[in-house]
Amino acid sequence: MKLYYAPGACSLSPHIVAEEAGIRLDLEKVDLKTHKTEGGEDFYTINSKGYVPALKLDNGAILTEGPAIVQYLADQKPGSHLAPENGTFERYKLQEWLTFINSELHKNFGPLFGAASDEVKADSKAKITKRFEYVNKELAGKDYLLGANFSVADAYLFVMLTWANHLKIDLTPYSNLHVFFAKVFARPKVHAAMKAEGLVK
């Protein structure tokens, strides 16, 4: 399988999941400004949406959208326990978290990476902070979003926290988020994925 990624983008989430699951991926970096892959291909011919991640399966099929990709990867290695079993209530809780992170956190970062007005950016930061306040409360007394086990949702949340740190969004009051971030950052497979993308040494 091949993962099309951009360093530090939301594609870091499936990269982490693959590392945690022990799935070997070929990596192909994408320049999101030129929409060219490292190999010189027009990325739009791979994913017509034009953004990462995209996962090319061994049979040539393309899967896009991070929440779908991470669940697919987790299901390839059920023994990794990165996603609860299909059909269980816990699996729907995982999907609830993936949906929340995707629509309420990830989406609100968009204006901060673009040419939005200061007013729009301030509104986005306020929304992000409010959503992180909710996550902080939900993490009380838990190691990870679903409890004791690291899941694909935790990989996604971790990437959102790296963005918040990069953009200097003040999360000082949210101690549970700080503990969570440090715990995930210390995971060897997370470090391996970040190192492969040139994000850490």
Cis peptide bond prior to 188, omega within 30° of 0: no
Q: Which amino acid is it at 178?
A: H
User: In the chain, what are the domain boundaries?
Assistant: 2-80+189-196, 89-187
What is the CATH T-level fold of the domain 2-80+189-196, as seen in this structure? Answer: Glutaredoxin (3.40.30)
pTM of the model: 0.97
60-89 pLDDT, tens digit each: 999 999 999 999 999 999 999 999 999 999
107-156 pLDDT, tens digit each: 999 999 988 999 999 999 999 999 999 999 999 999 999 999 999 999 99
User: Both ends of the chain: CA-CA distance in Å?
Assistant: 25
- Rounded CA separation 28/47 (Å): 13
What is the CATH T-level fold of the domain 89-187, as seen in this structure? Answer: Glutathione S-transferase Yfyf (Class Pi); Chain A, domain 2 (1.20.1050)
